[in-house]
Amino acid sequence: MNIEPIAYYRSLQPTKFGVPRQSGLVPELRGRIVFEPEYRNPDALRGIEGFDYLWLVWGFSLNSKSGGEWSALVRPPLLGGNEYVGVFATRSPYRPNPLGLSSVRLCGVEMGEDGPVLHVAGADLVDGTPVYDIKPYVAYSDAHPGVRSGFVDNNAWRKLAVSFPPDLRTLFTDDEFSALYKVLELDPRPQYHNDPDRLYGMPFGAYDVRFKVTCDGVLEVVDVVAR
């Protein structure tokens, strides 16, 4: 079966570094779904505004592996990148078929030069990610409160305290800063990195946000420079 993108996701995050590791972790993070020309028929979206959430089926387009390479065992970042579990017990991008599945909040539908555009929030996708299908999230069948979630149940994401200089904060709108702060709070570094002297750079919109993380778990933004 050959599948082609019906749309592409557009956001302030052009690289994997800093993108939330699951959808819904940063509900303030906004993005747009822009359809390919052949799918810009408004009739295809008739009734979608009645749903609060959508499922996106998308592709891991930035994977460095290709040619069908995959591993039966992977190391989830939630486990610190040090413990192996089966690939089908994770959401690892390195799979036999590199497809992702994310639940996002539908914020609105806009009609413009690019046809109907979906404004969504809480995605874990990189800018330019191909979207292969969109389906409505239906609460009565898709939500299962109280169920087990494997190793996730006993391993919560550790949040960092964030120190952001007030003068650098003014480079962003209030909505952008709110999303950026939440992204930094979740610690965008690889989980096995723990060097307080290492300087990181995370692209966000038109800027590169540079930061360090102290031994006591404080993420200190040291500079924001134009990309």
**Predicted confidence (pLDDT) per residue in 37-87, tens digit:** 999 999 999 999 999 999 999 999 887 554 557 889 998 888 877 889 999
Which of 31, 49, 36 has the alpha carbon at shortest distance from 123? 31
pLDDT the model gives residue 66: 47
Task: Assess whether pLDDT exceeds 50 at residue 93.
Answer: yes
pLDDT the model gives residue 135: 98
**Predicted confidence (pLDDT) per residue in 106-154, tens digit:** 999 999 888 999 999 999 999 999 999 999 999 999 999 999 999 888 8
Strands 85-86 and 207-213: unpaired
Cα–Cα distance for residue pair 119/129, rounded to 1 Å = 15
Sign of CA dihedral 103, 41, 99, 10: negative
Cα–Cα distance for residue pair 227/206, rounded to 1 Å = 6
Report the topology of domain 7-63+98-142: Elongation Factor Tu (Ef-tu); domain 3 (2.40.30)
Average per-residue pLDDT for the chain: 92
Sequence-distant (≥ 6) Cβ neighbours of residue 43 within 8 angstroms: none
pLDDT the model gives residue 94: 86
**What separation in angstroms does the CA of 40 have from each of 33, 117, 118?**
11, 9, 11
Residue 197 in contact with residue 212, Cβ under 8 Å? yes
Q: What is the dihedral of CA 93, 59, 109, 23, to 10 degrees?
A: 0
Cα–Cα distance for residue pair 22/6, rounded to 1 Å = 22
* 35 φ/ψ angles, rounded to the nearest 5 degrees: -80, 150
Question: Which 8-state DSSP code applies to residue 189?
Answer: S
Query: Which pTM does this prediction carry?
Result: 0.92
pLDDT the model gives residue 142: 95
Structure tokens at 226: 């134009």
Proportion of the chain above pLDDT 90, given as a percent: 76
- Give CATH 2.40.30.70 domain extents, the chain: 7-63+98-142
Cα–Cα distance for residue pair 112/154, rounded to 1 Å = 45
Task: Assess whether pLDDT exceeds 70 at residue 179.
Answer: yes
Proportion of the chain above pLDDT 70, given as a percent: 98
Task: Assess whether pLDDT exceeds 90 at residue 158.
Answer: no
pLDDT the model gives residue 65: 53
Residue type, 43: D
pLDDT the model gives residue 92: 87
Sequence-distant (≥ 6) Cβ neighbours of residue 134 within 8 angstroms: 6, 7, 33, 54, 55, 56, 57, 118
Cα–Cα distance for residue pair 195/211, rounded to 1 Å = 12
Cα–Cα distance for residue pair 52/37, rounded to 1 Å = 25
Residue 106 in contact with residue 120, Cβ under 8 Å? yes
Which of 69, 227, 76 has the alpha carbon at shortest distance from 157? 76
